[in-house]
Amino acid sequence: MGEKSHGTGPTAKSSKNPLLIVLSGPSGVGKDAVLDCLKKNSPDITFITTMTTRPHRASEKHLVHYNFVSLEEFQKLQANNELLESANVYGNWYGVPKEQIREALKRGKDVIVKVDVQGVANIKKVVPQALFIFLMPPSLEELADRLKQRRTESAESLATRLEKAKNEIAQASMCDYKVINYCDKIESAAAEVKAIIAAEKRRDKPRKIDIA
């Protein structure tokens, strides 16, 4: 199923009440860039690679950006209830495998997963005690510029994604925290995410994460 795991070395810390952190936000907001920044200086967090049936782009690496699998493999996990959440986005399936999350939590490691807004709604139903963080663009105009720079979208597709982004941003209140990701300040956004996690670890009543 695949996991990009960090934090299993001797310097990694463990926690009595490890967190499940769910990072969300519209397409193009920079979720991968923020996660890459976190991976460089967060040895105590395990990063789970989202599974997808869509073809990978030339700039993407298997088990780094996504865990690219066949539709047959994905459907088998769905049938066995082994995906924390799954959704069909633009004709392709995306999902979060449960087993890697369970293993990391058992080791006392905080776990972070990346999902879209639909994924937030799904995970909140099954793991309401997860920590939900929404990554916001400074503006829709800047988000449009980021998507154009990918050069993977037709004009029609870009318009569809931007309309979807508007709807997703309107649902950001589902998350516990919002973090604005400025294009030239990715490190600041990652630092803010880390600060949120640190604050949550100091709660008087810690979140209790249970993955069935």
- Could you tell me if residue 10 is inside a domain? no
Average pLDDT over residues 61-81: 94
The upper half-sphere exposure of residue 61, i.e. CA atoms within 13 Å in the direction of its Cβ, equals 6
Domain count, the chain: 1
78-127 pLDDT, tens digit each: 999 999 999 888 799 999 999 999 999 999 999 999 998 888 999 999 99
Average pLDDT over residues 151-174: 83
- Least confidently predicted of 11-25, 69-83, 159-173, 180-194: 11-25
Residue type, 201: K
- Could you tell me if residue 138 is inside a domain? yes
Average pLDDT over residues 72-79: 97
- Could you tell me if residue 8 is inside a domain? no
**Which CATH number characterizes residue 166's domain?**
3.40.50.300
- Could you tell me if residue 51 is inside a domain? yes
The residue segments making up the domain with residue 189 are 20-200
- In this predicted structure, the answer to whether residue 5 has a pLDDT above a threshold of 50 is no
- Could you tell me if residue 155 is inside a domain? yes
- Could you tell me if residue 48 is inside a domain? yes
Q: Identify which of 21, 179, 18, 27 has the alpha carbon closest to the alpha carbon of residue 118.
A: 27
- In this predicted structure, the answer to whether residue 146 has a pLDDT above a threshold of 80 is no
Assign 1 a pLDDT band (cuts: 50, 70, 90).
very low
Give yes or no for a contact between 74 and 93, defined as CB atoms under 8 angstroms apart: yes
- Could you tell me if residue 91 is inside a domain? yes
- Could you tell me if residue 207 is inside a domain? no
Q: Identify which of 193, 150, 197 has the alpha carbon closest to the alpha carbon of residue 25.
A: 193
- In this predicted structure, the answer to whether residue 136 has a pLDDT above a threshold of 50 is yes
Assign 6 a pLDDT band (cuts: 50, 70, 90).
very low
Cα–Cα distance measured from residue 169 to residue 137, given in angstroms and rounded to the nearest whole number: 9
Helix (H) or strand (E) holding 123: helix 117-126
- In this predicted structure, the answer to whether residue 9 has a pLDDT above a threshold of 60 is no
> What was the pLDDT predicted at 13?
61
> What was the pLDDT predicted at 3?
38
Better-predicted residue by pLDDT, 45 or 142 = 45
> What was the pLDDT predicted at 145?
80
Assign 10 a pLDDT band (cuts: 50, 70, 90).
very low
CB atoms near residue 182 (< 10 Å):
13
Mean pLDDT of the chain: 88
> What was the pLDDT predicted at 141?
84
